[in-house]
Structure 1
């Protein structure tokens, strides 16, 4: 079995723009993943504005751990959008769920305790809304002659 099986793009009947949106999301996941993993403070201090004077090493380690998850997830999303478009709706559901959980936490639960909101707290609800729109388009079959 090959690492990359044959493409399923010919079987995809949803909107092509949904696959392009998924690849855009992959880029927006990949870049923060690199920042979280490779930046000395993971972006916790310089971007999120977190106080690292207490348990800073733990915070930085958690950011790196999250970056280590974001990077391969982003690569998977990109490959799906590029080569395996029949999986676009499923991948969009994963993005919607991940961003919805992040938004709920960032605005209402554990992440909301300080009142400070890093960029991701604003991007997550927007990604959920756009993800739902593109999921609808991905599930709606387009005519085969387009």
Structure 2
């Protein structure tokens, strides 16, 4: 197993709550991933409220594809939060970039035109400042952290 998951060598020096927050974000990524991958409509109609009468199979297939990616990405986030904590700040940076692009596309560059936004569009807006703060605190060494 050590070839697959090498020993974490670099210590994590940031705030102790940041890996826990990353683990919560991981669960918040994995659960929707399972919904998108395994719910019959991928949550497109039942949760996001999309009209599936035109192009339904393509939309559902795209949701399933996104769900598979979310499961893999969330699992990696969880692994970093639990075992490779030195990468916690890097993952917050990646999440901040991801969420910024989602917000930019959802609200500015590619809005639906109908005024309808799925729940994730609002969750993204709420998460942006939280992830930015987590990035800051994960980079700031704790007073008790040995350097």
Q: TM-score, normalised by structure 1?
A: 0.94
Matches within 5 A, 1:31-50: 31-50=31-50
Could you tell which deviates more after superposition, 108-117 or 11-20? Answer: 108-117
Distance in 2 (alpha carbons) for counterparts of 1:34 and 1:111: 25
Which residue of structure 2 lines up, in the alignment, with residue 142 of structure 1?
142
Residue 92 of structure 2 is matched in structure 1 by: 92
Deviation at 1:124, TM superposition (A): 0.5
Residue 37 (structure 1) shift: 0.4
SS in 2 for 1:99: helix
Deviation of 1:45 (Å): 0.2
Counterpart-to-counterpart distance in 1, 2:44 and 2:145:
49
Question: Contact (CA 8 Å) 1:14, 1:142: kept in 2 or not?
Answer: yes
Q: CA deviation at 1:7?
A: 2.6
Contact between 2:13 and 2:142, CA under 8 Å: does it hold in 1? yes
Q: Deviations over 1:47-106 (max 9, x none)?
A: 000000000111001101100110010000001011111000111111111111111111
Tell me, which stretches of 5 or more residues in structure 1 are unaligned?
Answer: none
Superposed CA deviations along residues 13-63 of structure 1, whole A, max 9, x for unmatched, are 101111111100000000100000000100000000000000011100110
> Which of the pair is proportionally richer in helix?
1
How do 1:19-98 and structure 2 match up within 5 A?
19-98=19-98
Root mean square deviation of aligned Cα: 1.5
TM-score (norm 2): 0.93
Which residue number in structure 2 is paired with residue 120 of structure 1?
120
**Secondary structure of 2:53's aligned partner:** coil
Unaligned runs of 5+ in 2: none
Partner of residue 129, structure 2: 129
1:105–1:112 Cα contact (<8 Å) kept: no
